[in-house]
């Protein structure tokens, strides 16, 4: 069985949206879960968080940034082409329930997995305050969709090209300092963002959840590459998460583990680029 790409477009510089025909996955998917895809029989397996799903259409949307060999291959694919494998939904769904006021924070491509949670928390009856950020305005994604799905939307850019000039954590701190009674904060983005957010929210005593999808590799718990220490216990991001209590995550260990694979990823990318050049592919 293969999975057809029904829509594909670049939504920001080197960031792509792909809608896949996968009825069984779409029917079972919930906010916070992920899929594993494979382009063809020789490709690596890549876990990607579900950015949206439509059970009526039978489609699942993924959003990814061109980083390594496989995401650059995906970026060259077009609508009507097919993927070899598209497995899911995997991982524990987000713990969405009525709590009161919830702040959902997305940084960079992390805005994509935050989006379905925004919709889910609002449908559950919560007041949803969304905070999204990127290095600059050109890298912001899903701004219109996030605004429509949220009760409030705040935007931050590192360079001040749109919204607050600074980081999303600045905006969250301002909301907490304003006296807004917040029941939960969900943060998804680069590990350094989640680490800073966890440190910033802890003194306020507000429950903070992070999604550790950046560390996942095979997505089934068999490789052990996504081991992370949470409250002094070893957990696997793919099968025990990807969501965890931010105040219990050992972010220093997580970030050092991520660095272990950089040389291998670099070599893989160099080999791929060399083959493309030799074949005359551009």
Q: Is 223 annotated as a binding residue?
A: yes
177, 214, 185: which is closest to 101 by C-alpha? 185
DSSP 3-state of 274: helix
Tell me if 130 sits within 8 A of 118, measured CB to CB. Answer: yes
Taking the alpha carbons at both ends of the chain, their separation in whole angstroms is 29
Establish whether 226 is an annotated binding residue: yes
Residue 5 is labelled as binding a ligand: no
CA–CA separation, 78 vs 181, rounded Å?
46
114's tokens: 């935050």
Q: What is the rounded (10 degree) CA torsion for 132, 118, 129, 230?
A: -80
DSSP string, 100-156: SEEEEEEEGGGHHHHHHHHHHHHHTT-EEEEEEEESSGGG--SHHHHHHH-SEEEEE
In angstroms, rounded to a whole number, what is the distance separating the alpha carbons of residues 74 and 18?
A: 9
Classify 113 as helix, strand or coil.
Answer: helix
Residues found in the chain: 282
* Helix or strand (DSSP H, E) at 65: strand 59-65
Closest of 232, 223, 209 to residue 92, by C-alpha: 209
65 is in an annotated binding site: yes
Identify any residues that bridge with 210 across adjacent strands, giving them in sequence order. Answer: 187, 244
Determine how many CB atoms are found less than 10 A away from the CB of residue 56.
8
Beta bridge partners of 243: 211
Query: 215 exposed, middle or buried (CB, 10 Å; 0-12, 13-18, 19+)?
Result: buried
- The annotated binding site for FAD is made up of 63-65
User: Annotated binding site for [2Fe-2S] cluster, which residues?
Assistant: 223, 226, 238
- Known binding-site residue numbers: 63-65, 223, 226, 238
């Amino acid at each position: 069985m293969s999975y057809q790409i029904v829509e594909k477009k670049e939504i920001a510089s080197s960031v792509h949206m792909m809608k896949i025909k996968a009825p069984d996955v779409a029917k079972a998917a919930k906010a916070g879960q992920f899929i594993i895809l494979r382009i063809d029989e020789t490709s690596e397996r890549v876990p990607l968080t579900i950015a949206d799903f439509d059970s009526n259409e039978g489609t699942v949307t993924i959003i990814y940034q061109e980083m390594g060999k496989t995401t650059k291959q995906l970026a060259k694919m077009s609508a009507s082409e097919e993927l070899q494998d598209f497995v899911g939904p995997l991982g524990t769904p987000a713990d969405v329930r009525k709590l009161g006021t919830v702040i959902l924070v997305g940084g960079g491509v992390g805005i994509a997995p935050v989006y379905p949670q925004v919709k889910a928390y609002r449908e559950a009856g919560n007041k949803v305050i969304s905070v999204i950020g990127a290095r600059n305005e050109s890298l912001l994604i899903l701004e219109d969709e996030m605004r429509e799905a949220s009760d409030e939307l705040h935007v931050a850019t590192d360079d001040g090209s749109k919204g607050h000039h600074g980081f999303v954590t600045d905006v969250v701190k301002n909301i907490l300092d304003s006296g807004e009674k917040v029941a939960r904060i969900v943060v998804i983005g680069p590990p350094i963002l989640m680490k800073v957010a966890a440190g910033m929210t802890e003194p306020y005593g507000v429950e903070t959840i992070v999604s550790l999808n950046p560390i996942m590799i095979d997505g089934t718990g068999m490789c052990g590459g996504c081991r992370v220490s949470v409250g002094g216990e070893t957990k696997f991001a793919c099968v025990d998460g990807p969501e965890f209590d931010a105040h219990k995550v050992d972010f220093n260990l997580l970030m050092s583990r991520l660095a272990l694979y950089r040389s291998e990823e670099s070599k893989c990318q160099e080999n791929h680029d060399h083959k493309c050049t030799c074949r005359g592919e551009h």
